[in-house]
């Protein structure tokens, strides 16, 4: 994930938790680290970790279960994917396409690079 320098730390932490959900480190219903555990892991104040949780609760990615703690909400992965795709297409794709044009690259060049990338990951 690309982090922009003007992004607040609690937002970066929320994005990392979303990355973990997308990577299936946490699945629907799984418990995520507590506020204190998260604060210790990222070496931040507990209020910063709490704000990350608040963002994810507001977006229906996490839910608080009394006596259990924070859990990944049903449909969280789908919601994250939809939001990330939208952000990519609106924020990053135009710059990418502009660079392709400036460099004189074609869709065939991109397709070839994409196939090599996929092959290297198998």
Sign of CA dihedral 30, 31, 32, 37: negative
The answer to whether 59 and 79 have CB atoms below 8 angstroms apart is yes
Q: Band the pLDDT of 122: cuts 50, 70, 90.
A: confident
pTM higher than 0.85, yes or no?
no
Residue 2 confidence (pLDDT) above 50: no
- CB hemisphere CA count around 13 (13 angstroms): 27
Residue 3's pLDDT is what?
47
Angle at 74 (CA atoms; ends 88, 30), nearest 5 degrees: 100
Instruction: Characterise 30 by phi-psi region: left (phi > 0), alpha (psi -120 to 50), beta (else).
Output: beta
Residue 29's pLDDT is what?
96
Delimit the domains of the chain by residue range: 9-75, 77-120
The answer to whether 99 and 81 have CB atoms below 8 angstroms apart is no
Token pair of 40, please?
């210790």
User: Tens digit of pLDDT for each residue in 7-65?
Assistant: 899 999 999 999 999 999 999 999 999 999 999 999 999 999 999 999 999 999 999 98
Residue 4 confidence (pLDDT) above 50: yes
Residue 110's pLDDT is what?
95
Angle at 106 (CA atoms; ends 105, 108), nearest 5 degrees: 130
User: Tens digit of pLDDT for each residue in 68-117?
Assistant: 899 999 999 999 999 999 999 999 999 999 999 999 999 999 999 999 99
CATH code of the region 9-75:
1.10.10.10
Beta-strand runs (E) in 17-78: 62-65, 69-72
């Amino acid at each position: 994930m690309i982090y922009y320098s003007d992004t607040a730390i609690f937002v970066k932490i929320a994005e990392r938790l979303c990355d973990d959900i997308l990577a299936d480190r946490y699945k629907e219903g799984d418990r995520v680290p507590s506020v204190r555990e998260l604060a210790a892991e990222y070496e931040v104040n507990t209020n910063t970790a709490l704000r990350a949780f608040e963002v994810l609760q507001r977006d229906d990615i996490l839910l608080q279960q009394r006596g259990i703690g924070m859990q990944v909400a049903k449909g969280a992965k789908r919601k994250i994917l939809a939001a990330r795709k939208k952000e990519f297409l609106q924020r990053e794709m135009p710059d990418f396409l502009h660079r392709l044009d400036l460099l004189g690259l074609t869709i065939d060049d991109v397709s070839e690079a994409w196939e090599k990338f996929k092959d290297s990951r198998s």
